Structure 1
Amino acid sequence: MLLCAVLAGALLFLDHRYTWMDQVRAEASTLVAPIQWLVSLPAEGFSWASMTFSTQRSLVEENRSLREQLVLLSQRAQRMESVSAENARLRALLKATPRDEIPYLTAELMMLDNDPFIQQMIVNRGAREGVYVGQPVIDASGVVGQVISVSRYTSRVLMISDPSHGVPVQIVRNGLRFIVQGGGGPEGLVVQNVPNNADIREGDLLVTSGLGGGFPQGYPVATVVSVQQNPNGPFARVEAQSSAQLDRSRQYLLLFARDAIAAHELVPLNQEALDAAIRVASVAQAGD
């Protein structure tokens, strides 16, 4: 036990003083990747068995539910088509540059960290697929977190519910910008430094603001669930619930947003678009 304690202390000292320990950690993660894969086999086997031996009735009910969702999503897609067409016409009017789609990589959950004070997980994609540190991770409902370390075959993701993680967000309703920090639970989040007189309400949707370059703009992060004024201080306590299914999702998307954000920041101001906007504003003012 004493030998293990001395060895752990030495490793902590080396990790703190020398950057080459990052490469050692990555190689060690590569070596234990087969063990992580073996540990995940029982869960995958149970999922396969439950799918294989499911009853016909459950399959019929699931099929009916999926058909209803398909109809709903088709209706939403039709509305989005009209909105996208209108947006394209407005951008053509202003001669603005169309926004490019952000490339992504699918990933699956392999393992969750057992430490109750750390909200981290390991996914089955690594440096071999081009994953990089700081890469945003989302699921079907919203932002999940960011990649914090990468080995050849796997990556470690810090979830937004971790107390050490912060996301720049803005309110969809009015555009106010804040920082959302993890609350340590599976879904609980805290909106930091909200003034008592700020226009924030229960039910407000918080999306990524795009500031800081970590996350692209417009992805759902959380919904405000509680706003408590603080009569003894300048800031209110605002709690939010994560939009992502942090305690249930197993499939994720890793967004290659770094190049897209850099390209967007390098786009120069379009003078023709600025002149067109001034002309449109002048016509609207003359009509009033």
Structure 2
Amino acid sequence: MDPLFKGTGLRRKLSIYLVLSLFLIVADYQIEAMQKVRSWLSVAVTPVQWVVDLPEQSWTWVHDRLQEREGLLGENRQLRAQLMLAEREVQKLASLTAENVRLRELLNSSQKLDEQVRATQLIGVNPDPFIHQIVINDGSQNDIRVGQAVLDQTGVMGQVTATSPFTSRVLLVTDANHAIPVQVNRTGLRSVAYGRGDYNQLELVDITQTEDIKVGDLLVSSGLGMRFPEGYPVAKVTLVERDPGREFTRVLAKPTARLSLSRQLLVVSTAHQQQQELVEEQ
């Protein structure tokens, strides 16, 4: 118990405290010396106020830094997204440029021919490794007919074997069931190039030992059979193997068409095929 108020009641204590409080309040405003005391006390208490306010200031600083960091991270993510979009546009532009080059090459190749041509695009590949067949995005509704030749900008791809209203199937020259009449561009020697089920090989099986053919010779379509346009590149000879014990020379050739890469193609109708279509329409 406080000695000052020893033996006094609770009410008396409260009264004394109130009187002292009122006295200090009045003295603080009326007595000039008290203002100096208050100023000294404020100076003395200032470090305590700083210490008390330090946690809040620290938290505010950390909070502001975190918000700035989150803002910077968000801005960084946004910039990265914009960069990816820009890179995608650049890639798309490069793809469109390459596609335009391929289309110009196709146009140039079609100008070499007197036949009717139609630009088309590859949309599917037969997954069976033993069947070399592709699907194009034009069909009977676009006047695509069975037997028409299909070319890319570098050579003969194959021929149409089946059509539906909106798509067609094309058997590639390398399929084991495909054959195309060819001739050696250098000498005019005629033969037939058979598919071997290998995208990189065709075989000529009826070349005698005395025929003039050598590695590097260009094989072009001969036009015989009236399905493939005459004079279009088919393959280049890669192997000429003459064996005195055999009647025929073994000749292998690599297709000039980019069978596994080309997407923009041409469907060609020879003059004979166009005449047949006119007869059928009549």
Above 0.5 in TM-score? yes
Conserved 8 A contact 1:135-1:258: no
Q: TM-score, normalised by structure 1?
A: 0.58
| Greater Rg by CA | 2
SS in structure 2 opposite 1:248?
A: coil
Equivalence for 2:225: 212
Question: Cα deviation per residue 1:173-199 (whole Å; 9 max; x = unaligned)?
Answer: 110000001121112111121112210
Q: 1:254 to 1:196 in 2, by over 3 A?
A: same
2:177 alignment partner, one of 156, 161, 164: 164
Conserved 8 A contact 2:234-2:257: yes
1:147 alignment partner, one of 141, 160, 167: 160
Equivalence for 2:269: 256
Within 2, Cα distance between the matches of 1:51 and 1:146? 40
SS in structure 1 opposite 2:210?
A: coil
Equivalence for 2:87: 53
Question: Cα deviation per residue 1:6-53 (whole Å; 9 max; x = unaligned)?
Answer: xxxxxxxxxxxxxxxxxxxxxxxxxxxxxxxxxxxxxxxxxxxx9973
- 1:199 and 2:199 correspond: no
- What is the 5 A alignment of 1:1-288? 53-54=87-88, 101-259=114-272
Equivalence for 2:20: none
SS in structure 2 opposite 1:133?
A: coil
SS in structure 2 opposite 1:105?
A: strand
After superposing the two structures, state which structure 1 stretch, 181-190 or 50-59, moved more: 50-59
SS in structure 1 opposite 2:141?
A: helix
Conserved 8 A contact 1:139-1:251: yes
Following TM superposition, by how much is the alpha carbon of 1:213 offset from its aligned partner in structure 2, in angstroms?
1.0
Conserved 8 A contact 1:161-1:186: yes
**Ranges in structure 2 where 5+ consecutive residues have no aligned partner:** 1-83, 277-282
Q: 1:51 to 1:252 in 2, by over 3 A?
A: farther
Conserved 8 A contact 2:126-2:132: yes
Moved over 4 A (4+): 54-60, 260-263
Following TM superposition, by how much is the alpha carbon of 1:246 offset from its aligned partner in structure 2, in angstroms?
0.2
Name the aligned partner's letter for residue 130 of structure 2: F
**Ranges in structure 1 where 5+ consecutive residues have no aligned partner:** 1-49, 78-98, 264-288
After superposing the two structures, state which structure 1 stretch, 51-60 or 199-208, moved more: 51-60
Q: 1:161 to 1:56 in 2, by over 3 A?
A: same
Conserved 8 A contact 1:213-1:261: no
Q: 1:237 to 1:51 in 2, by over 3 A?
A: farther
Following TM superposition, by how much is the alpha carbon of 1:230 offset from its aligned partner in structure 2, in angstroms?
2.0
Within 2, Cα distance between the matches of 1:182 and 1:53? 42
Within 1, Cα distance between the matches of 2:163 and 2:91? 43
Conserved 8 A contact 2:226-2:272: no
Equivalence for 2:28: none
Name the aligned partner's letter for residue 53 of structure 1: E
- The alignment of Structure 1 onto Structure 2 pairs a total of residues equal to 187
Within 1, Cα distance between the matches of 2:92 and 2:119? 28
How much identity, in percent, do the aligned residues show?
A: 37
Name the aligned partner's letter for residue 244 of structure 1: A
Conserved 8 A contact 1:105-1:254: yes
- Structural RMSD (CA): 3.4
